[in-house]
C-alpha cells in the first residue's frame, strides 16, 4: 500500500541529484542473491547522516546482509550477486572503478562477537588498520591510537596496559577495542551488527552510551534484535521481514504508530 506507492515513485524518479550531506547512503532497488537464494528484494531507503539508524526484524530477514551490502562485505561470500544501486555521499558504491577496500576504509564495521586479533596487543590492535594500510609514522600512530581509544571510552581503562594481549580484556572491553580499531582508520560511517548481543547488561549500557556520543561525528547503522535498544538509541528505524523492507521512518513513529500490520505485529512481540 504505502510501500508500493513509495516504490512506484522511486521507479519513476529522475536520477539522483547532487546529494545533500543530510543523506549518507541512498539505496535504490537493492537485490542480493547468494547463489540461487534471493536474500534481499528491492530494498530502497535513505540513511541519514550523523544519526543512528536501527535495522530490526526477525532472524533470517536479511538485516545482516543489508548491513554488509553497505560496505561490500557480503562479497566475501563467493556466490554473492548484487543488483541495484547504493551511493555513499553521492558516489556509486558498486561502480566499475570502485575498489572495495577503499569503500571499507570509509565505512567501518563492528561485529556481533568481538574479534580483536589474538596475537596482538591492545595498542597493536587499534593501529592495525592504519599500519597494514601503509602508515609508518610512529608518532602519528600513537596519536591516533590514543584518540580512538578515547572515542571508544576505553582509554582510561587500558592506558596502563597497552602492551597486554588484547584477549586479556573483558568481553565488553574487547568490543570497545574493536570499535576503537574501526574508528582509528577514520571512517565516515560505522556499521554495527548486533554489537552488544553477546554482552551483559552493564557492558551493553556502556556500548549504547558510546553510540549516542559517536553519532555526533559518525553516521551509524546498527542491526539489533533488541527493540528496546533500537528505541533507546536510534532516530530512524527500518523493519525488514523475509528479505523485504517493510517499513522505515522515525523510530518514535515506527514503535508507536506503525503503518504496516507486519511491523505492528513485530514491535508488539507477536512474533520474533
Partner 1 sequence: MNAVAASKEAGEPLGIGPAHAGKLGDRVFRLTTWLMAMVVLVLLALVGWTLCKGSALSVKEFGWGFLAHSDWDPVNGNFGALTFIFGTFVSALIALLIALPLGLGTAIYLTELAPGWVRQPAISMIEMLAAIPSVVLGVWGIFVLVPWLREGPYPLLLKYFGFLPLFRGPTTGFCILSASVLIAIMILPIITSIAREVFRAVPEAQREAAFALGATRWEVTRLAVLRYSVRGVFGAAMLGLGRALGETMAVTMVIGNSDKITASLLSPGNTLASKIANEYAETLKGLPLSALFELGLILLLVTVGTNILAHLLIGAMGGRRPRGN
Partner 2 sequence: MNPWYNRWRKIKSSCVSGLCLICALVVIAPLALVLFHLLQKGASSLDWSFFTQLPKPSGDPGGGMANAIVGSATLLGLAGLIGIPIGVLGGIYLSEFGSPRMNWAIRFAADILSGTPSIVWGIVVYALVVLPITGYSAYAAGLALGFMMIPLVIRTTEEMLVLVPNIYREAAFALGIPHWRIVLSIVLKTAGRGIVTGILLAAARVAGETAPLLFTALGNNSWSHRLSEPIAALPLQIFTYSNSPYDDWLRQAWAGALVLILFVLALNIAVRVMTRSRTPHLTR
If 0-12 CB within 10 Å is exposed, 13-18 middle and 19+ buried, where does residue 238 land? buried
Task: Identify the residue among 32, 52, 56, 103 touching partner 2 (CB under 8 A).
Answer: 103
Task: Identify the residue among 132, 156, 202, 228 touching partner 2 (CB under 8 A).
Answer: 132
C-alpha cell at 178: 574493536
Shortest spacing between CB 224 and partner 2, in angstroms: 18
| Among partner 1, partner 2, none, residue 181 binds (CB under 5-8 Å by kind) | partner 2
Q: Write the CB contacts of 228 (distance below 8 Å, at least 6 apart in sequence).
A: none
175 vs 114: CA distance, rounded Å: 5
Classified as helix, coil or strand, 73 is: helix
Task: Identify the residue among 50, 92, 155, 226 touching partner 1 (CB under 8 A).
Answer: 92
Task: Identify the residue among 8, 10, 21, 83 touching partner 1 (CB under 8 A).
Answer: 83
Element spanning 174, H or E: helix 171-184
Told to check if 185 binds partner 2 by CB under 8 A, we report: yes
Window 65-94: residues binding partner 2 (CB under 8 A)? 71, 73, 76
Q: Write the CB contacts of 15 (distance below 8 Å, at least 6 apart in sequence).
A: none
| Among partner 2, partner 1, none, residue 172 binds (CB under 5-8 Å by kind) | none
Contact residues: partner 1, CB under 8 A: 29, 35, 75-85, 92, 94-95, 99-101
Amino acid at each position: 500500500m504505502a510501500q508500493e506507492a513509495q516504490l512506484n515513485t522511486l521507479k519513476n524518479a529522475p536520477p539522483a541529484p547532487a546529494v545533500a550531506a543530510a543523506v549518507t547512503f541512498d539505496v535504490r532497488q537493492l537485490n542480493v542473491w547468494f547463489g540461487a537464494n534471493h536474500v534481499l528484494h528491492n530494498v530502497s531507503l535513505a540513511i541519514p547522516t550523523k544519526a543512528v539508524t536501527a535495522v530490526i526484524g526477525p532472524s533470517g530477514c536479511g538485516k545482516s546482509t543489508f548491513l554488509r551490502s553497505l560496505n561490500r562485505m557480503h562479497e566475501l561470500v563467493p556466490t554473492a550477486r548484487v543488483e541495484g544501486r547504493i551511493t555513499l555521499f553521492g558516489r556509486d558504491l558498486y561502480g566499475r572503478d570502485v575498489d572495495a577496500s577503499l569503500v571499507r576504509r570509509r565505512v567501518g564495521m563492528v561485529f556481533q562477537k568481538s574479534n580483536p586479533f589474538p596475537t596482538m596487543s591492545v595498542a597493536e590492535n587499534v593501529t592495525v588498520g592504519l599500519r597494514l594500510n601503509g602508515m609508518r609514522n610512529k608518532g602519528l600512530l600513537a596519536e591516533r591510537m590514543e584518540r580512538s581509544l578515547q572515542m571508544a571510552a576505553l582509554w582510561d581503562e587500558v592506558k596502563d596496559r597497552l602492551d597486554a594481549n588484547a584477549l586479556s580484556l573483558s568481553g565488553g572491553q574487547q568490543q570497545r577495542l574493536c570499535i576503537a580499531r574501526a574508528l582509528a582508520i577514520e571512517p565516515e560511517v560505522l556499521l554495527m551488527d548486533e554489537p552488544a548481543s553477546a554482552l551483559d547488561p552493564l557492558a551493553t549500557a556502556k556500548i549504547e552510551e558510546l553510540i549516542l556520543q559517536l553519532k555526533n561525528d559518525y553516521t551509524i547503522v546498527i542491526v539489533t534484535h533488541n527493540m528496546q535498544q533500537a528505541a533507546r538509541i536510534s532516530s530512524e528505524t527500518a523493519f525488514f521481514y523475509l528479505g523485504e523492507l517493510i517499513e522505515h521512518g522515525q523510530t518514535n513513529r515506527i514503535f508507536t504508530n506503525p503503518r504496516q500490520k507486519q511491523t505492528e505485529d513485530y514491535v508488539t512481540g507477536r512474533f520474533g
